[in-house]
Amino acid sequence: MKKLLPCIACVLSLAFAQCTMVDPPRPVLPVPTADQLKWNEMERNAFIHFGLNTFTDQEWGYGSVPAATFNPTELDVNQWCQVIKEAGLKGIILTAKHHDGFCLWPSEYTEYSVKNSPWRNGKGDLVKELSDACRQHGLKFGVYLSPWDRNSAVYSTPEYITYFRNQLTELLTNYGDIFEVWFDGANGGTGYYGGADEKRSVDRKTYYDWPTTIALVRKLQPNALIFSDAGPDVRWCGNESGVGGKTNWSTLRRDEAWPGWPRYKELNPGHEDGNYWVPAEINTSVRPGWFYHKSEDHRVKSVSRLMDYFYESVGRNGTGLLNFPIDDRGLIHENDAANVIEWQKTISSDLAHNLLLEVDAIEASNVRGKARRFNAQKVNDQNAETYWASDDGVTSADLVFEFDEAITFNRFLVQEYITLGQRVKTFTVDILTQDNKWKEVASETTIGYKRILRLPDLTTRKIRFRVTGAKACPTISNVELFNAPQLITSPRVSRNKEGVVTITNDNTHLDLFYTLDGSEPDEASLRYEKPFVLNGKANVKVVAVDAVTKRKSDVVTAAFDISKSNWKVLHTDDKRCGNILDGNERTSWHQQHDKMPGDLVIDLGESVLVEGFRYLPDQGHRPKGIIFNFAFYTSPDGKLWSEQSSGEFSNIKNSPVWQKKVFAPVQARYIRLRALNTVADEKLVRYSEFDVITK
């Protein structure tokens, strides 16, 4: 036996050498840059919208409001940073200039800035204050400079491009390192334009000469990533609802797109055959609007909705960008702060304990060259630089995780080693049942940087992860399993045309309590047993309570105006018109018009004191007939009409949420909403819901 030992040692040595000499897989192009990898690892960042719109209750200002209107009295950027950091976000992108052209820094190139406001006696520089605070709090800092400027007299001329780049140069040279530079596609339309008060159109594809602007950013901030519809480094996800694609390729045929690209729906899934690495940023606001509106204080996204956002952004190979509308004091509102901090606690609770750290065996159907450096255990070594890989040509392979005793899990997390490109097209998750058969519990597409699946509670001793299709051999760097606690979901409140209020919750075992007097509900409040009639104006506040654990949901507020029981849509025989008054946002009705404008006329059934209206556009998957420019009229008798409001529903194409307009109170029985045009210039208008605001 002793004589054989040297021979065995030689064999083992040779085998080890062969294993270590196995070449890694070749990259599947394109691949991310080092800065793009760091950006992915940030996972969640904050957006800040703050400016003149904050003080005028608008979303898109026209550029005509005096600079002196900007006057926050308690502005505290440290409060912003503290809230954002406690919410688990890693960077802040500031809207340094929105479409109205007002600058939050004392730009040398315009008088329309903080230098002509009462704030800090005209000596303030919000960009500097926030960039300094970010560094102090360990946060990255980025800037958004709107390419559109509704204040500039030279917008739409070549002179504006010089102006735009001069302002961009100020932002990229005076405020330290910038991690992301943000551009959008809102370009051209009506505006103040130095007093011209007109509509100006530009060719979104060519007007800005984007290649030259991109080169300027590269020169001034070589490590900054550039966001727009087309990147070049980070792309929009195609919506402002915070929903990333279940299929989400980090690759894009970038040369086809530009800011304002009409085929923006392709941005959600990306392009499987994309020739550039342009990962998706999934943006939304913590409130319905991007700027602060006091009327939305009770409409902050609930923790359960924010959890949906987390799993539909970070959990779908995206990076989240959550907007904070700073209020008119200059602070993140306490309602927003409370919910996002609880959101972070809930994420931490969901992903607190990786069950795979207790796994007893991991087996792979194929290991590249049978080399240890590519074996199945690499998905569980907590090292982002190692990975399991199969042999070249093997694009269907699986991992089996086996436990000594059955475990229960409801979250499945998987990551590719994207340094070598995004490869996986399709995959499944299976569990072994008690009768020793495999049962598929999930079938999905694409992984990328990170994919997290939310599953029902599943109990098993064996779990199988199967790559069922890939561009090349899979490279999986990490797999994790979690058993997240049940989320106490927020109640939903609705009222139909007859004034019947219904309260529901996804967790049917929870008790529901409500108030009608504006007070905070608790277990001593009215218990919801069945639908009830509520005809008058009221704020219904509801909380869900687990009777066993005493855990509570967010308090949900539903503000109802007068009942619609006597309302009637006029000038139509289509019975489906009642869909716009039924309190159900998932139903809709459309009017076809031979030509625009098109009118919606309603008889309120009685004379009331009207001071505004609310309009919810089509909420379908592919919405149509969304009103952009409007006029609103009232009448005491249906014959004599007076215009009360007109203008635009700003940003409604990208954010088709409830639109609210208010005006001086007027007595009326009949109302008319006139659609002057739609965002896609269609000859139809579709409504999901409509309401009036009464005094």
Question: pLDDT value at position 6?
Answer: 44
Q: Residue 595: its pLDDT value, please?
A: 87
Q: What is the pTM of this model?
A: 0.93
| pLDDT, mean of residues 35-51 | 98
Gap between the Cα atoms of 232 and 349, Å rounded: 36
DSSP string, 313-344: TTTBT-EEEEEEE--TTSS--HHHHHHHHHHH
Asked if residue 12 belongs to a domain, the reply is no
Report if residue 3 sits inside a domain. no
Give a yes or no: residue 106 inside a domain: yes
| Burial class of residue 259 (count of CB atoms within 10 Å of its CB; 0-12, 13-18, 19+) | buried
- 323 with 384, same domain: the answer is no
Query: What's the pLDDT tens digit per position in 256-274?
Result: 999 999 999 999 999 999 9
Report the pLDDT value the prediction gives residue 87, as an integer from 0 to 100: 98
State CA 196 to chain mean position distance.
35
**Residue with more model confidence, 16 or 643:** 643
Domain ends where: 420, 448, 482?
482
Residue 478's nearest CA partner among 452, 503, 506 is: 452
DSSP state letter for 435: T
Digit-coded pLDDT (tens) for 99-125: 999 999 999 999 999 999 999 999 999
The per-residue pLDDT for 507 is: 84
Over the stretch 633-673, which tens digit does the pLDDT of each residue have? Answer: 999 999 999 999 999 999 999 999 999 999 999 999 999 99
Q: Does any domain span residue 272?
A: yes
According to the model, what pLDDT value does residue 20 have? 56
Could you tell me the residue range of the domain that residue 278 belongs to? Answer: 43-349
Question: Domain end: 504, 539, 560, which one?
Answer: 560
What pLDDT is attached to residue 525? Answer: 97
Structure tokens at 689: 């819901």
- 550 and 414 share one domain: no
pLDDT tens-digit readout, 174-189: 999 999 999 999 899 9
| Claim to verify: residue 56 and residue 200 sit in the same structural domain | yes
Report the domain count for the chain: 4
Residues 556 and 476 in one domain: no
Predicted confidence band at 5 (pLDDT cuts at 50, 70, 90)? very low
Per-residue pLDDT, averaged over 189-199, amounts to: 96
Phi-psi category of residue 382: left, alpha or beta, with phi > 0 → left and psi -120 to 50 → alpha: left
Looking at 308, 332, 349, which one is the last position of a domain?
Answer: 349
Residues 108 and 212 occupy one common structural domain: yes
Could you tell me if 515 and 582 lie in one domain? no
In the prediction, which pLDDT does 19 show? 46
For position 535, which CATH number holds?
Answer: 2.60.40
Q: The domain that contains 305 carries what CATH number?
A: 3.20.20.80
Same domain, 496 and 374: no
pLDDT at 13 over 80: no
Q: Are residues 536 and 599 in the same domain?
A: no
Give kind and range of the element (H or E) at residue 428. Answer: strand 424-432
Going by pLDDT thresholds of 50, 70 and 90, the confidence category of residue 621 is: confident
8 is a domain residue? no
| pLDDT above 50: residue 133 | yes
Q: Are residues 316 and 361 in the same domain?
A: no
How much is the average pLDDT of 216-231?
97
What digits encode the pLDDT tens for the residues 556-590? 999 999 999 999 999 999 999 999 999 999 999 99
Contacts of 221 (CB under 8 A, 6+ apart): 172, 177, 178, 181
Is residue 298 included in any domain, yes or no?
yes
Give strand ranges (E) for 177-233.
180-182, 189-191, 198-200, 225-228
Distance CA 46, CA 85 (A): 9
Q: Do 539 and 686 sit in the same domain of this protein?
A: no
139 neighbors 90 (Cβ within 8 angstroms): yes
Give percent of the chain above pLDDT 90.
Answer: 93
CATH number at residue 367: 2.60.120.260
In terms of domains, do 517 and 424 share one? no
How many Cα atoms sit within 13 Å of 308 on the Cβ side? 12
What pLDDT, on a 0 to 100 scale, did the predictor assign at position 272?
98
Are both 138 and 157 inside the same structural domain? yes
Specify the pairing of strand 589-592 against strand 684-694.
antiparallel
Question: Is it the case that residue 7 has pLDDT exceeding 50?
Answer: no
Which has the closest alpha carbon to 566: 651, 658, 498, 660?
A: 498
For residue 631, what are its two tokens?
A: 């006029």
pLDDT at residue 506, rounded to an integer: 87
Q: CA of 525: how far to CAs of 472, 512, 520, in Å?
A: 60, 9, 9
For 240-250, the pLDDT digits (tens) are 999 999 999 99
Note the pLDDT tens digit of each residue in 477-523: 999 999 999 999 999 999 999 999 999 998 888 999 999 998 999 99
Inside any domain, residue 427: yes
Residue 549 lies in a domain: yes
